[in-house]
């Protein structure tokens, strides 16, 4: 499957919150996003992993090669990473959020990190039309952390364990705006054929409407391609 960049591709570089972690937003990413949706509609989705609140299936291998071509020239200027580093994709999946809010585990009801390393990137390529939400970024109030690297892990998760037993522990449901434990510091709306990329150790969450959970349907639900990228110097 040949994937080409859209001729009107647009880049925006932002900084998240007070700590200024990099955030890349690319609009009009691929030339034919409808083709990616059609391919997803023919695939067999299934639950994968304990933390993702929905179902997934492997994205085309050609998508990884395409994404590497797009982001490699941006590694240094945007993310401060070695431009000639080797890139690996431990995950690259079509994803559909489908979990009812009352069935979410504690860690699914708060912002999360995907890994603590500063050499890991994550991207979400929105392939849905409609009001299914985007991606938000947060600050943990009691520590002030907007990202959690190896040096912050022990402090952050120790504090979070205490808070999970306290009066401010989140009720069932997806996190939205500010809560007693977290302040939302930035948000990217889910726009068709938009990609958002950030460090995997930034605290983030999908913005899902608890009163309107998406259906398990690639053509009508919250379809995205979610990728993890390891940058190996």
Q: Give the pLDDT of the chain (233 residues) as one tens digit per residue.
A: 899 999 999 999 999 999 999 999 999 999 999 999 999 999 999 998 789 999 999 999 999 999 999 999 999 999 999 999 999 999 999 999 999 999 999 999 999 999 999 999 999 999 999 899 999 999 999 999 999 999 999 999 999 999 999 999 999 999 989 999 999 999 999 999 999 999 999 999 999 999 999 999 999 999 999 999 999 98
Task: Please tell me the predicted confidence (pLDDT) of residue 40.
Answer: 98
Which pLDDT score is estimated for 176?
87
SS (H, E, C) the chain: CCCCECCCCEEEEEEECCCCEEEEEEECCECCHHHHHHHHHCCCCECCCCCCCEEEEECCHHHHHHHHHHHHHHHHHHHCCCCCCEEEEEEEEEEEECCCHHHCCHHHCCCECCCCCCCEEEEEEECCCCCCCCEEEEEECCCCCCECCCCCHHHHHHHHHHHHCCCCCCCCCCCCCCCCCEEEEEEECCCCCCEEEEECCECEEECCCCCCCCCCCCCCCCEEEEEEEEEEC
Q: Is residue 136 within 8 Å of 186, Cβ to Cβ?
A: yes
pTM attached to this predicted model: 0.97
Token duo for residue 161: 């364990």
Which class for 112: exposed (0-12), middle (13-18), buried (19 or more C-beta within 10 A)? middle
Cα–Cα dist 64/180, whole Å: 38
Picking from 128, 174, 135, the residue whose alpha carbon sits closest to that of residue 14 is 135
Residues 6+ apart with CB under 8 A from 25: 11, 12, 13, 14, 188, 194, 195, 196, 197
């Amino acid at each position: 499957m040949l994937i080409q960049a859209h001729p009107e591709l647009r880049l925006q570089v932002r900084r998240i919150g007070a700590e200024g972690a990099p955030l890349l937003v690319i609009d009009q990413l691929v030339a034919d996003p409808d083709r990616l949706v059609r391919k997803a509609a023919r695939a067999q989705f299934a639950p994968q992993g304990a933390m993702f609140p929905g179902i997934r299936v492997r994205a085309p291998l050609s998508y990884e090669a395409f994404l590497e071509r797009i982001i490699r020239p941006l590694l240094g200027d945007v993310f401060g990473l070695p431009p000639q580093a080797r890139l690996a994709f431990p995950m690259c999946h079509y994803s559909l959020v489908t979990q009812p809010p009352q069935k979410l585990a504690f860690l699914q009801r708060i912002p999360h990190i995907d890994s603590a390393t500063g050499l890991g990137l994550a991207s979400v390529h929105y392939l849905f039309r409609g009001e299914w939400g985007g991606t938000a970024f947060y600050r943990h109030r009691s520590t002030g952390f907007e990202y959690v690297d190896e040096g912050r892990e022990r402090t952050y998760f120790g504090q979070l364990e205490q808070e999970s037993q306290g009066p401010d522990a989140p009720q069932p449901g997806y996190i939205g705006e500010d809560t007693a434990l977290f302040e939302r510091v930035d948000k990217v709306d889910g726009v068709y054929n938009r990609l958002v990329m950030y460090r995997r150790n930034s605290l983030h969450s999908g913005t899902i409407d608890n009163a309107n959970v998406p259906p398990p349907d690639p053509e009508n639900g919250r379809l995205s391609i979610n990728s993890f990228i390891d940058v190996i110097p």
